[in-house]
């Protein structure tokens, strides 16, 4: 089955800096890659996603890139703000209709 | 429109006790999922359902059972709770596998 690895596990940045979180996946048949944000004590919420026929997608300060050949995808947050502090999860959709999640990255944005 | 709700929000069990967690959604979603979230391990799929009357095993199904007798409800049962089942449990539902909406979570402690 699909296996998703996520790095780093923790990431500390100063407000205004950029943050990059990277994930790799194992199943070349996976074709959908969402990113979820989970604030402390809250539920995970979808923030952006990308399909395998697209190389990059942007939504204001966040963007996701996908390299199908290398089987990795990344989340980029520019001009980070304290409210970006949260745990971020990447995921890949496994061929049998299941999402497989990475282990999460705790992002801390210091003022 | 309440979205995805979970009952109860918190529960403390003694080893060997049983309980049922209820997930309810009012969005007429076909797909429903149960995950557990443990520190450093991300979200791991326990069981899922692709429609009323169907269930399937996920990544960590041992010690849990599920039922989907009604389309809007997905029940997770623990027949004999163990300390290893201490976790935060999230339910999710969606119209398709790639579109999942999470409930608020249930924090379960087994002593």
B78-108 per-position pLDDT tens digit? 999 999 999 999 999 999 888 899 999 999 9
Chain A residues near residue B97 by CB distance under 8 angstroms: 93, 97-99
Residue A94 confidence (pLDDT): 79
Q: What are phi and psi of B85, to 5 degrees?
A: -95, 5
Q: Indicate the SS3 state at residue B56.
A: strand
Say how far apart CA A94 and CA A7 lie, in whole Å.
Answer: 20
Residue B32 confidence (pLDDT): 97
Number of CB pairs, chain A paired with chain B, less than 8 A apart:
46
Residue with tokens 């971020």: A88
A30 close to A21: Cβ distance less than 8 angstroms: no
CB contact under 8 A, B48 and A98: yes
Which residue in the set B90, B98, B104 is minimally distant from A34, CB to CB?
A: B98
Instruction: Kindly tell me if the per-residue pLDDT of B1 is higher than 70.
Output: no
Residue A1 confidence (pLDDT): 83
Residue B82 confidence (pLDDT): 97
Which segments of chain A have a pLDDT < 70? 96
CB contact under 8 A, B90 and A103: no
* Number of Cβ atoms within 10 Å of the Cβ of B51: 12
Residue B40 confidence (pLDDT): 79
A16: contact with B, CB 8 A cutoff: no
A95 close to A29: Cβ distance less than 8 angstroms: yes
Say how far apart CA B16 and CA B33 lie, in whole Å.
Answer: 25
Residue A67 confidence (pLDDT): 95
Region of B105 please: left (phi>0), alpha (psi -120 to 50) or beta: left
Query: Tens digit of pLDDT for each residue in B14-66?
Result: 999 999 999 999 999 999 999 999 987 889 999 999 999 999 999 999 999 99
Label each residue of A3-66 as H, E or C.
CEEEECCEEEEECCCCEEEEEEECCCCCCEEEEEEECCCCCCEEEEEEECCCCEEEECCEEEEE
């Amino acid at each position: 089955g699909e296996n998703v690895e996520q790095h780093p596990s923790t990431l500390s940045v100063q407000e205004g800096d950029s943050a990059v979180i990277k994930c790799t996946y194992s199943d070349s048949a996976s074709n959908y890659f969402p990113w979820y944000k989970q604030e402390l004590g809250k539920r995970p919420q979808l923030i952006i996603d990308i399909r395998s026929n697209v190389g990059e997608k942007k939504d204001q300060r966040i963007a996701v890139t996908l390299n199908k050949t290398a089987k990795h995808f990344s989340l980029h947050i520019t001009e980070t703000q304290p409210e970006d502090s949260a745990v971020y999860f990447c995921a890949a959709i496994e061929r049998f209709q299941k999402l497989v999640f990475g282990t999460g990255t705790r992002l801390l944005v210091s003022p | 429109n309440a979205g995805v709700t979970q009952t109860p929000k918190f529960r403390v069990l003694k080893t060997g006790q049983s309980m049922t967690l209820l997930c309810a959604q009012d969005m007429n979603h076909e797909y429903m999922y149960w995950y557990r979230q443990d520190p450093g391990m991300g979200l791991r799929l326990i069981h899922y359902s692709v429609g009323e009357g169907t269930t399937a095993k996920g990544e960590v199904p041992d010690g849990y059972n599920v039922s989907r007798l009604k389309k809007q409800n997905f029940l997770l049962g623990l027949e004999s709770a163990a300390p290893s089942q201490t976790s935060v449990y999230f339910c999710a539902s969606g119209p398709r596998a790639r579109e999942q909406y999470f409930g608020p979570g249930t924090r379960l402690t087994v002593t």
